Amino acid sequence: MSRFLRLLFRPVTYTRWLHLCIPVLFYAVWLFVFQSVPMVLVPLLFPLLLGLVPSVRMAEGIQAQLMLTPGERRSPHPTIAAGPATTWTDRWRTVLWLEIRLALAAVTALVTVRLPMLGVELIDAATGSPASDEAVLSIGEPHWIYGVLAPLPLLALPVAIVVLGRLVTAVARRLLGPSAAERLTALEARTELLLEHNRIARELHDSIGHALTVAVVQAGAARAANDPAFTARALAAIEETGRAAMDDLERVLLVLRASGDRVAPRPTLVEADRLLESARMSGAKVDAELTGPLDSVPGPVSREGYRILQEALTNVLRHCGPVPVRVCVAALERQLEMEVTNPLPPAAPSAQTGSGLRGIRERAALLGGEAKCGPHEGDWRVRVRLPLDGIR
């Protein structure tokens, strides 16, 4: 009972009632203008002619969202679609919706008008007043019992409004809801959005994590060295790495803001020397071997390879500090091979945990490659293979 009383005070109950009354108004105007047209043709032909127009489905969907489910209109997955019909199935569903809506509108108009009239007639019957020519009931002798029954039609009216509103909303969700193709499109769009968010998270982790690691290592080394010349080089390295991280951060923020400004291109393996030099300036002894035409590596592979190399070097500096590092990058005919090896630290990170190692494996898997991270012959090795066939 309390739930029903709450429904009576919800604005959506009366917007649904208004939504049901709208077709009756158009029906009345039609009959007023075209009095010679048989009444039966309007509910049969009018929805058929309108429902086959693709834009009518969009108009009905928007109206239903606003008046039947206003709370769901801005949700990520509204139960009522608001787009034009793209298939004949959607058009015939729209036709059926218009027919049912018109039928429910007729019932709504009937109970909205007749129930209050019935209440008045019962009062007249109780007081002995003469009945009108359009009376709903034919009552003979007046009786006081009719006065007791008079409130019942007025109490039944809000119940009918609530029931009819919920019924038309259920029908709208069924017939105006997203089709299978629309649900698949929405699912694909959401999947793309989640993948983009994951990619951005990896970008921030790799770029900002690398910059902070270099800054911490450089600052610690400069303080321990107590050498003005070394301190100057360390500060220069921190400044350069910080500027690169700021550029990456600004590029990611532009993507998140959906800005129309031109976004700076992501770094590729052609710029790998910048990473190697940054690691060297952090104190690591980097022995690098870059072979093959890195400038001809496809863009997606080159960009992801840069981030993988960046994360591998960041892990070395973070967990081992300035130690000897062996870097091998080879652009072969069919695949890109990358290997970063350093002395195994006393507390080696697990090959199965850590967001950095997980990000390396995810990047490799997205390109159809593989990444193996873990101890190897007394060293810690990150080995990645990325296919080049079929990637542009």
pLDDT tier for residue 164 given thresholds of 50, 70 and 90? very high
Residue 71 above 60 pLDDT? yes
pLDDT tier for residue 384 given thresholds of 50, 70 and 90? very high
Instruction: Find how far residue 290's CA is from the centre of its chain.
Output: 41
Residue 188 above 70 pLDDT? no
Top pLDDT among 248 and 358 is at 358
pLDDT tier for residue 254 given thresholds of 50, 70 and 90? low
**b/e sequence 212-237, b meaning 16+ C-beta within 10 Å:** ebbbebbeebbeeeeeeebbebbeeb
Residue with tokens 């002798």: 141
Most confident listed range (71-80, 118-127, 198-207): 118-127
pLDDT tier for residue 75 given thresholds of 50, 70 and 90? low
Burial class (CB in 10 A: 0-12, 13-18, 19+), 168: buried
Q: How far apart are CA 57 and CA 55, in angstroms?
A: 5
Torsion, CA 173, CA 4, CA 112, CA 28, rounded to 10 = -20
Q: How far is CA 170 from CA 112, 174, 311, 369, in A?
A: 21, 6, 52, 48
Q: How far apart are CA 262 and CA 199, in angstroms?
A: 19
Give pLDDT, residue 135: 59
pLDDT tier for residue 290 given thresholds of 50, 70 and 90? very high
Lowest mean pLDDT among 128-137, 212-221, 354-363: 128-137
Give pLDDT, residue 260: 43
Beta bridge pairs of residue 327: 288, 340
302-348 confidence digits (pLDDT tens): 888 888 898 888 888 877 877 899 999 999 888 999 999 998 876 65
Inter-residue contact 167 to 160 (CB < 8 Å): no
Inter-residue contact 293 to 331 (CB < 8 Å): yes
Residue of 207, 392, 387, 204 whose CA lies nearest to 309: 207
Angle between helices 54-67 and 11-33 (to 10 degrees): 140
Q: What is the mean pLDDT of residues 29-34?
A: 66
Give pLDDT, residue 194: 67
Q: What is the mean pLDDT of residues 227-247?
A: 74
Give pLDDT, residue 276: 87
Residue of 163, 125, 129, 165 whose CA lies nearest to 145: 125
Residue with tokens 């390295």: 237
Give pLDDT, residue 354: 61
Inter-residue contact 86 to 181 (CB < 8 Å): yes
Residue 203 above 70 pLDDT? no
267-288 confidence digits (pLDDT tens): 888 888 888 888 887 778 889 9
Top pLDDT among 108 and 226 is at 108
Residue 14 above 50 pLDDT? yes
Task: Determine phi and psi for 257, rounding to 5 degrees.
Answer: -80, 0
Give pLDDT, residue 171: 92
Residue of 40, 45, 39, 57 whose CA lies nearest to 97: 57
Mean per-residue pLDDT over the chain, rounded: 78
Inter-residue contact 163 to 8 (CB < 8 Å): no
Give pLDDT, residue 119: 81
Q: Vertex 382, ends 377 and 388: CA angle to 5°?
A: 130
